[in-house]
């Protein structure tokens, strides 16, 4: 988990600016996935502490849509019939709510009143759902997820839970509880991945519209044959260092494949014409294309191509208001943020120094507290998450039998 620095070779990969930045969307999705794996109590608490208020909010706001045309007597009769035909004590109120408010499964044009009313935190705020938002606020602060995008995520999860067809049976089949909770959380963070895919598509569309330079072409002319190699640098996907690395392996594979083709043809010719040994050996030596290829000549082609691509990159960046991806955190960096930021089951978080100790014990690396602190701050800034108060959620000092106290992290 070494602290990552941005170098000149990290430049050139383009993305949309602001809230559509691909690196931010993907990092948020990965962080939420880590919560699913390592901090499931966050999800269970959202279910227990906020879902009841979410249901009450929907029932209050859409009371007429849910119960319109149904007398108390008919409601009770239908509820009894529902339980009888289902051979269980399912939740008829949830069944009715879903039946009346769930958007059409296949009709994309079907109305989605709950989704429009509670699309995001700001929308719910504009629509006056203060009690629900207070519950979400308390949840987000309790777990140090004090950011509007985290509260938006919570609303998306709550919506997915409410309209999960399994929810009506949860009272009689508690084994379905965890699958419903986890699938709702998972489907919501996958929305970030879908948004990232769309963001990347917009970048590629913008870049392609400017007309990319011709691909890098290299022709190898030998005494026996002629071969052509062609490839392109996708500046919306890879930086210069990544392109060169891919180019090296592709070039080597191309040369080896060309060699195999030449050797196969030579073998076939020898089988039919019985080529003299000395002639055969001389021509076989000519098939060693890796050795005969002029690196200086290829470098000229490469530098010319890179110069054209960089000029095109700058033009596409300026004309389409794109930005360069500054940083993509690895999973280890995101895990460090999670361990520092999100309380465990015992209500404690790891300090910077504890993360250093654990990483040293498990990986044998020599990190410093300062490098870990900077890495965590960098990841938090990328996903736009306010870091917790370092004096809160501190764990018990190792080797101590004393009660957990709030202490500053080192």
Q: Would you write out the chain's pLDDT as a tens digit for each of its 410 residues?
A: 333 333 334 567 889 998 899 999 999 999 999 999 999 999 999 999 999 999 999 999 999 999 988 888 899 998 888 888 766 668 899 999 998 998 865 566 678 899 999 999 999 999 999 999 999 999 999 999 999 999 999 999 999 999 998 898 887 677 889 999 999 999 998 999 999 999 999 988 888 776 778 898 888 776 666 778 889 988 888 888 889 999 888 888 888 888 888 888 888 888 888 888 888 888 787 777 766 666 777 888 889 999 999 888 888 889 889 998 888 899 999 999 999 999 998 889 999 999 999 888 877 677 899 999 999 999 999 999 999 988 776 654 444 333 333 333 32
For residue 281, the number of C-alpha atoms closer than 13 Å in the C-beta half-sphere is: 3
CB-based burial, 187-217: b 16+ in 10 Å, e otherwise: ebbebbeebbeebbebbeebbeeeebeeebe
Determine contact, residues 404/388, Cβ cutoff 8 Å.
no
Under DSSP, is residue 152 helix (H, G, I), strand (E, B) or coil? helix
Name which of 230, 231, 227 is nearest 265 in CA terms: 227
Q: What whole-number distance in Å separates Cα of residue 88 and Cα of residue 239? A: 58
Q: Could you tell me the end-to-end alpha-carbon distance of the chain, in angstroms, rounded to an integer?
A: 18
Determine contact, residues 185/36, Cβ cutoff 8 Å.
yes
pLDDT of residue 7: 39
Determine contact, residues 336/353, Cβ cutoff 8 Å.
no
Using alpha carbons only, what angle is made at residue 21 by residues 215 and 185, rounded to the nearest 5 degrees?
120
Sequence spans of domains, the chain: 25-206, 216-319, 330-410
Per the document, the length of the chain is: 410
Burial of 326 (0-12, 13-18, 19+ CB in 10 A): middle
* Phi, psi at 351, each rounded to 5°: -85, 170
pLDDT of residue 107: 63
Q: What whole-number distance in Å separates Cα of residue 307 and Cα of residue 301? A: 10
């Amino acid at each position: 988990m070494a602290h990552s620095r941005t170098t000149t070779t990290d430049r050139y990969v383009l993305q949309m600016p602001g809230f559509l930045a691909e690196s931010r969307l993907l990092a948020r999705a990965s962080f939420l996935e880590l919560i699913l794996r390592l901090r499931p109590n966050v999800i269970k608490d959202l279910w227990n502490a906020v879902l009841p208020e979410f249901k009450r909010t929907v029932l209050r706001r859409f009371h007429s849509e849910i119960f319109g045309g149904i007398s108390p007597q008919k409601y009770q009769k239908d509820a009894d019939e529902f339980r009888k035909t289902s051979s269980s004590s399912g939740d008829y109120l949830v069944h009715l709510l879903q039946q009346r408010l769930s958007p059409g499964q296949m009709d994309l044009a079907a109305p989605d009143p709950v989704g429009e009313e509670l699309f995001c935190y700001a929308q719910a705020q504009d629509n006056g759902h203060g009690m629900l938002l207070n519950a979400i606020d308390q949840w987000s602060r309790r777990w140090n997820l004090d950011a509007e995008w985290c509260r938006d995520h919570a609303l998306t999860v709550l919506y997915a839970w409410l309209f999960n067809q399994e929810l009506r049976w949860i009272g009689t089949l508690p084994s379905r509880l965890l699958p419903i909770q986890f699938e709702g959380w998972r489907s919501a963070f996958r929305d970030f991945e879908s948004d990232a895919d769309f963001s990347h598509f917009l970048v590629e569309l913008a870049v392609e519209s400017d007309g990319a330079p011709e691909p890098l072409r290299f022709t190898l002319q030998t005494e026996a044959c002629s071969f052509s190699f062609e490839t392109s640098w996708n500046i919306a996907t890879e930086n210069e260092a990544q392109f060169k690395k891919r180019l090296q392996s592709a070039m080597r594979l191309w040369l080896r494949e060309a060699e195999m083709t030449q050797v196969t043809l030579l073998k076939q010719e020898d089988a039919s014409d019985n080529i003299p040994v000395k002639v055969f050996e001389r021509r076989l030596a000519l098939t060693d294309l890796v050795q005969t290829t002029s690196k200086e000549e290829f470098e000229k082609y490469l530098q010319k191509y890179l110069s054209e691509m960089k000029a095109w990159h700058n033009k596409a960046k300026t004309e389409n208001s794109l930005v360069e991806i500054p940083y993509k955190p690895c999973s280890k960096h995101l895990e460090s943020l999670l361990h520092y930021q999100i309380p465990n089951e015992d209500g404690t978080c790891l300090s910077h120094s504890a993360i250093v100790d654990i990483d040293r014990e498990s990986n044998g690396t020599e990190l410093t507290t300062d490098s870990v602190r900077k890495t965590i701050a960098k990841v938090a800034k990328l996903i736009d998450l306010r870091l917790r108060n370092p004096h809160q959620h501190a764990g018990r000092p190792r080797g101590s039998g004393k009660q957990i106290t709030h202490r500053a992290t080192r």
